[in-house]
Structure 1
């Protein structure tokens, strides 16, 4: 009997030793495999993943430590080894796959704040849903299923409840410490060779590895208070700005509209750009006759967009608020993350001047949280896709011509002057879908068949956008109601993976954005803008201008009073016309990667003003008697479009009920 008990105890100890051995083995091997697998997925190339591993063994180890912490946390929660391996693999590989697609499409990796883009993530599905892309997705899911099935057939290799609690809490503490850059965690990362490259996130992820770069970005989700920001500093800035706004007009006595308030229409055309700028290709006809004519006849130029291939709302944010994305974390989305209170904007400015401020966008109102943000910006109304009645579609989206019709209808049916901020959708990517029955403009050049089809589809879209602009011009020229139109694109189009069309034509020399020259970086972010008015305005050609300076610039061109902060924008734009996170253009059009010393104080004041408005305590408004800095929400916000409910489903239900009752319904 004793011998039997002894054998059982011995067997039990052996089992415990085996379990401990396998758990330790998994803790050593699984993170290493996950790091290599994640880097292989994100880079899309086995050779590049191997080269990074061999050249950066310490960074590889640092990524493995972080993956180990994630694995231990999931292990503590799951309570069994194989399910924890399966869940950790699914999490990290999915993150790497998303980063791979984002880098391919728009040159940006996966950021911590992307997790909060819930419905907006649907927007990327058409871009990745093809057979070649479904293979890695299927492989990852298949491996997950295999591990889950094996977990039912193999020993659980679980941890005791007390051990799980200790391991889980330690893992949470360590992950938190690395995420917020605690002193001890910072020392560990420094010794392992981590070098954060905030201004170039594709290079940041490429050099440091996805897990480490992602973790270093966690702290960037919280925008740090600028050095010296407090009430006394803002009081001092307020003193400098007082009296400055009223003189920031094109001329001290300029009144081109003879006391009449003009309609002001901003149209941000989806992915609008000039493809005739591509070298080594020819077009059978000019796709942009209206824009090219306006570039010769009226104020026009190029806007330096903070985005490429996507992120439309960030361009809206810059134009409407006068703020710069350069002071916010790379890849962040203010509409989703920061704008949760009443914010000074062009919409509120015009509303306060007696205008009706309206936003028109031919897509769902929830997208990028517009239906809430526009309210906080002071718009009176927002007409989204849900409020278009039987619109014409071109491809998958409402046509640009339909948006032009809507703008005309709104202006003609409104007795007071209007500020309209219109956003189109027709020419949204991808462009490999052959969305039109035919592409009348033929393109010649040394391009692959796929690249030519992509470019021809895109070109048909911008030709339609150009025609919609001409339609607006013709209408307001005929009505003679004083009107100003500002027409521009939000960003360059994503023409294939890895900037395919741009590299094939020689517009840029490499698909690696981290290796672009400053000139290439500038041209990959420069979109054309043109203006038109049925009243003579000063004419000027602008080689480059930041989106954040456009509002102030146009108010000056129209001879309108500039609020204090926009007056400062206008003044700064004459010293530094444009700025991205990693590109600054000075008044002499010199390009630098960082703000020159001569402009540092001016840019820092710009940062302080933005922080005070967006994150701070609005000290500036306290020391300035400015209605612009003390905005309010329109009391009747969107009342005209919410009579039947806020969603398309509610509209349809109410319409059906009204028709049944014999009522005449109009939207």
Structure 2
């Protein structure tokens, strides 16, 4: 009797605590999004009902046990999908495939533990946590969880405190659904007791689960289920295929596939052809120019060529080489690329003025809202994420040994090579890969003395001061390559910080209309304005420097859809209307300040980041590797190549899922060179990637 009373009292306390917790979450959702029409009363009802359901002493018989065993895996699958999209938008056959994964996991765990109560509770709780995690990952970086995210847990944890984890009605109501699923599983009394039955049943379930996971890697099976295999829109792919099937279906992408016709000999042939074409083009241009001039013009031209040849000779022997400073600014982008919108002031006035005066344009990158390291790798290496698994991170997955990059190339020419990042050195494994990429020195957050912080990150002003410090401390007569990746503008943007106030405002909204999301956009624009001011200060310093110097600044990616969606609603921009419109959310600005009268090649208004270094080196008249010569020729045909699409010389956008009779072979040649450069590094043809041509 006493034991029964204690149990009832304990259940009552738990029920009250559960209801109280759910009511607090309801209040948080109300604060973040308002009443939401019918959502507030529904959430209040379900919060109280959950406590009552826990308190209710319902003993499950055969019918309820069977119903729970059959329905709960399906409900969990449905709810997991509902966190980020409408589950009924899944392809019908994919619903069946997701059910196979859920039922084999739930039932297999039940036979392993000998209790449906324990196993269904654990499995449902796991699905709920996974769904919430995926919800916030999409919120912060606009793409879902992928298998190789497990390699980035440390990097994600280091910045997790700087995000605001808002409770929305969708998040709350789906979680309430999971609460009822978990409570129902907890009330189950079904127990498979016979070990002789449990072990074979568990092994069969495990075999089915593993077999389904293996089968889904096969293209025939994917076609059978009608699986969406469009890699450049992962959120859409997860919506159509279901979270589990899409996640498991990504496993085969962990390994980089060898391109058609790959061999070391083929690498040499492609590179030799590029070198031959480059030499022929230069000779043809020289002859054409000479043929058009006569008399005094030819004499003047000859004298000019003599001076240029002497200057180039000095450059190529290590003298008078310009300092090269590259700043990849965190989340630095111009949201006006998505359409015009009103602001209280220009959020990047100096940068805009520099773009009118110096070589500049738009860069198309392969990431959005995160995975910064991929943009810096594309710039430093000349490789593209287009040939690598969607969502992969090169630094953590593929760099296992020394790899030729812009840093190692400049080091071998006699430059000092320094990388700067005002945050943890371990982020994206930079402390491991930077030395392998040719950086002689890496300055992380620990090397900054009393820096200025904006929010919880070192400001761009202090980050740029470190660039000046490195420049001033270099050896006299030495040419410096300084590569900096900043942190000031890192997401999230919703959280309030002492001492940080918005100074740039959206004028298309009344003050009373501004919710947390709109204010997050204003915080973001304020940060961009701070970066702009810091850049102006940096350029002001180098305008007083006599040494030949070039400063490249570009953004690593646009902010996540949480920010850009506000602008889209203002401008009517629809990212899903076409491939061209979708790719606009992958464009960032760049500018190349210099004190040398530098000019870039033609058609640089829109290009991709993998080309930028080669274009810069060509304009500086530095000797190029065969790989860089190939990239310059490739850019003439395909001025943009990134993970989501490529653009041909006529401005036509192409997806990688389409058959391309015109550019297919050219893309495959690029893939062959990159595979040898990055993946098959034990058989790398170093002369192609590391040795400048004379």
Which residue pairs with 1:520 in the alignment?
Answer: 581
Which residue pairs with 1:569 in the alignment?
Answer: 631
Question: Structure 1 residue 30 and structure 2 residue 72: aligned?
Answer: yes
Question: Structure 1 residue 210 and structure 2 residue 235: aligned?
Answer: no
Q: Do the aligned residues in 1 keep the contact of 2:404 with 2:689 (CA within 8 Å)?
A: no
State the SS of the aligned residue for 1:404. Answer: helix
Q: 1:187 to 1:82 in 2, by over 3 A?
A: farther
Q: 1:95 to 1:145 in 2, by over 3 A?
A: closer
For 1:258-307, what per-residue CA distance to the aligned partner results, in whole angstroms no more than 9, with x for missing partners? 64011111101111112455645333333323211221111100000111
Which residue pairs with 2:452 in the alignment?
Answer: 392
Which residue pairs with 2:674 in the alignment?
Answer: 610
Number of aligned residue pairs: 595
How far is 1:61 from its partner? 1.8
Cα distance in 2 between the residues matched to 1:484 and 1:160: 75
Which residue pairs with 1:662 in the alignment?
Answer: none
Cα distance in 1 between the residues matched to 2:406 and 2:234: 31
Q: Do the aligned residues in 1 keep the contact of 2:82 with 2:174 (CA within 8 Å)?
A: no
Match of 2:191 among 141, 147, 157: 157
State the SS of the aligned residue for 1:60. Answer: helix
State the SS of the aligned residue for 1:370. Answer: helix
1:162-241 pair list within 5 angstroms: 162-181=196-215, 190-241=223-274
Q: Which moved more, 1:390-399 or 1:289-298?
A: 289-298
Cα distance in 2 between the residues matched to 1:312 and 1:155: 49
Which residue pairs with 2:493 in the alignment?
Answer: 431
Provide structure 2 residue ranges, at least 5 long, that are not aligned to the other structure. Answer: 1-59, 287-304
Q: 1:165 to 1:269 in 2, by over 3 A?
A: same
For 1:182-228, what per-residue CA distance to the aligned partner results, in whole angstroms no more than 9, with x for missing partners? 79x76665444434333322221111211221221111222222222
Q: Do the aligned residues in 1 keep the contact of 2:163 with 2:494 (CA within 8 Å)?
A: no
Match of 1:445 among 478, 489, 508: 508
Cα distance in 2 between the residues matched to 1:130 and 1:182: 35
Which residue pairs with 2:409 in the alignment?
Answer: 349
Question: Structure 1 residue 71 and structure 2 residue 109: aligned?
Answer: no
1:219-368 pair list within 5 angstroms: 219-242=252-275, 253=308, 255=311, 259-277=319-337, 279=339, 281-368=341-428
Provide structure 1 residue ranges, at least 5 long, that are not aligned to the other structure. Answer: 1-17, 630-667
State the SS of the aligned residue for 2:484. Answer: strand
Q: Do the aligned residues in 2 keep the contact of 1:303 with 1:544 (CA within 8 Å)?
A: yes
Q: Do the aligned residues in 2 keep the contact of 1:102 with 1:109 (CA within 8 Å)?
A: yes
Cα distance in 2 between the residues matched to 1:180 and 1:347: 41
How far is 1:128 from its partner? 4.8
Q: Which moved more, 1:360-369 or 1:438-447?
A: 438-447
Cα distance in 1 between the residues matched to 2:222 and 2:193: 30
Q: Do the aligned residues in 1 keep the contact of 2:676 with 2:685 (CA within 8 Å)?
A: no
Match of 1:464 among 523, 530, 551: 530
Match of 1:484 among 550, 569, 590: 550
Which residue pairs with 1:496 in the alignment?
Answer: 562
For 1:432-489, what per-residue CA distance to the aligned partner results, in whole angstroms no more than 9, with x for missing partners? 3354544334431146413543233222211221122222222222121221100000
Q: Do the aligned residues in 2 keep the contact of 1:248 with 1:561 (CA within 8 Å)?
A: no
How far is 1:505 from its partner? 1.7
Which residue pairs with 1:633 in the alignment?
Answer: none
For 1:557-613, what per-residue CA distance to the aligned partner results, in whole angstroms no more than 9, with x for missing partners? 111111111221111111111123342211122223347422211111111111112
How far is 1:381 from its partner? 1.2
Q: Do the aligned residues in 2 keep the contact of 1:432 with 1:453 (CA within 8 Å)?
A: yes
TM-score, normalising length from structure 1? Answer: 0.81
Which residue pairs with 1:116 in the alignment?
Answer: 151
State the SS of the aligned residue for 2:210. Answer: helix
Q: Do the aligned residues in 1 keep the contact of 2:142 with 2:560 (CA within 8 Å)?
A: no
Which residue pairs with 2:590 in the alignment?
Answer: 529
Which residue pairs with 1:58 in the alignment?
Answer: 93
State the SS of the aligned residue for 2:250. Answer: helix
1:587-626 pair list within 5 angstroms: 587-594=649-656, 596-621=660-685, 624=687
